[in-house]
Amino acid sequence: MAVSYKTIGLVNTKEMFKRAINGGWAVPAFNFNNLEQLQAIIKASSELKSPVILQVSKGARSYANATLLRYMAEGAVEYAKEIGCKHPEIVLHLDHGDSFELCKNCVDMGFSSVMIDGSSLPYDKNVELTRQVVEYAHKYDVTVEGELGVLAGVEDEVQAEESHYTKPEEVIDFTSKTGVDSLAISIGTSHGAYKFKPEQCTRDPKTGRLVPPPLAFDVLDAIMQKLPGFPIVLHGSSSVPQEYVDIINKYGGKLPDAVGIPEEQLRKAAKSAVCKINIDSDSRLAFTAAVRKTLAEKPAEFDPRKFCGPARDLMEVMYKQKIVDVLGSDNKLAQLD
């Protein structure tokens, strides 16, 4: 039987996106696949009184089991209240949905928001599929994110060699024909921990670190001019903190030349109509750094809580830093008491 997200205390993205755009901040969209990530996300967002989007990818559903993840999100609402956040605003969102059936299944099982990613399809097919999802989801007041333009890297099973920026001349037609609530765009971000090839970057002469090229803010500006006040989403927005990469490499890992999006660029984006910023890889890096360090320093340890605990703590630190320093979403719940 279908379950409404409203009965389990979740919210859709509509109101929080409005507030984020008007207030010049962005809502964090963090992916989760396991208990520790979920605990860290809820602890960080609840303690800082930030709205939050819990994202579940198709890969997460097959890793952790779709039903379990959905009930974990229901539990997250209660956990947020238990740790002192009386009025949490938690969205359960499908990340990179690739079919009508998958989106429908998520709506039916209590998701409050879904993404239908038709960005790799021909334009007309993307419009058709996205409109079909919107028609279904809106019957249940579930918000829908569509995507135009292609991000380099891996989007679940879809792998693109190159990014293709969103064409500003398409955005009015796409949003009006589909009725989407938000639009993911491509302006130079990409998924994963290798967002740019070394030859696309310069090197800082002092540190020897890669310095990535800037995002295409001119494309973002052109899109915002066409769609004033319309909610824009940025995928692929991990900054790949070099301190985590260094810990991973120091303790036996191999992540040479991993590079992300500089945080000052994300800060600038968050002040615009970009109202949802997707971060997954930074959580994976924090988790791996803490696990590698703990196991290297305590080789006799074999209780997973002893290395998953530090991993959870480091992810919490990372999520809090993003909320406060990058997204500016702290103290932005509609009801703070």
Point out the residues that are catalytic: 95
Determine if 50 is a binding residue for ligand G3H (CB under 6 A).
no
DSSP state letters, 32-79:
--SHHHHHHHHHHHHHTT--EEEEEEHHHHHHH-HHHHHHHHHHHHHH
Determine if 276 is a binding residue for Zn ion (CB under 5 A).
no
- Residue placing its CB nearer to ligand G3H in the complex, 62 or 176: 62
237 binds, among ligand G3H, Zn ion, ligand 13P, none (CB under 5 to 8 A by kind): ligand 13P
Determine if 278 is a binding residue for ligand 13P (CB under 6 A).
yes
Determine if 60 is a binding residue for ligand G3H (CB under 6 A).
yes
The C-alpha atoms of residue 133 and residue 101 are separated, in whole angstroms, by 9
- Residue placing its CB nearer to Zn ion in the complex, 153 or 310: 153
For Zn ion, which residue of 61, 235, 276, 312 counts as binding (CB under 5 A)? 235
Report in angstroms how near the CB of residue 1 gets to ligand G3H at its nearest: 28
- Residue placing its CB nearer to ligand 13P in the complex, 31 or 294: 31
Within residues 174-213, the interface with ligand G3H by CB under 6 A covers 191
- Taking the mean position of all CA atoms in its chain, how far away is CA 187? 16
Contact region for ligand G3H (CB under 6 A) — 53-61, 119-127, 215-223, 297-305?
Answer: 53-61
186 binds, among Zn ion, ligand G3H, ligand 13P, none (CB under 5 to 8 A by kind): none
Half-sphere exposure of 26 (CA within 13 A, CB side): 28
Contact region for Zn ion (CB under 5 A) — 70-78, 123-131, 233-241, 285-293?
Answer: 233-241
Helix (H, G, I), strand (E, B) or coil at 191: coil
- The torsion region of residue 110 among left (phi > 0), alpha (psi -120 to 50) and beta comes to left
Which residue in this structure is represented by tokens 């692929």?
236
Contact region for ligand G3H (CB under 6 A) — 52-60, 77-85, 254-262, 301-309?
Answer: 52-60
Half-sphere exposure of 58 (CA within 13 A, CB side): 16
Determine if 95 is a binding residue for ligand 13P (CB under 6 A).
yes
Give the residue from 213, 220, 299 showing the smallest Cα distance to 252: 299
Report in angstroms how near the CB of residue 215 gets to ligand 13P at its nearest: 13
- The pair of three-digit structure tokens given for residue 204, joined into one six-digit string: 């800082």
Determine if 31 is a binding residue for ligand G3H (CB under 6 A).
yes
Beta strands in the chain (DSSP E): 27-31, 52-57, 90-97, 113-116, 143-148, 153-155, 158-160, 182-185, 202-203, 210-211, 232-234, 274-279
CB-count burial class (<10 Å; 0-12, 13-18, 19+) for 226: middle
For ligand 13P, which residue of 182, 238, 265, 329 counts as binding (CB under 6 A)? 238
The C-alpha atoms of residue 330 and residue 41 are separated, in whole angstroms, by 13
- Taking the mean position of all CA atoms in its chain, how far away is CA 260? 14
- Residue placing its CB nearer to Zn ion in the complex, 131 or 235: 235
Report in angstroms how near the CB of residue 156 gets to ligand G3H at its nearest: 4
Within residues 188-207, the interface with ligand 13P by CB under 6 A covers 191-192
How far CA 105 is from CA of 46, 76, 97, 230, in Å, comes to 28, 20, 10, 27
Residues in contact with Zn ion by the rule CB under 5 A: 235
Residues in contact with ligand G3H by the rule CB under 6 A: 31, 57, 59-60, 95-96, 155-156, 191, 280
Residues in contact with ligand 13P by the rule CB under 6 A: 31, 95-96, 191-192, 235-238, 278-281
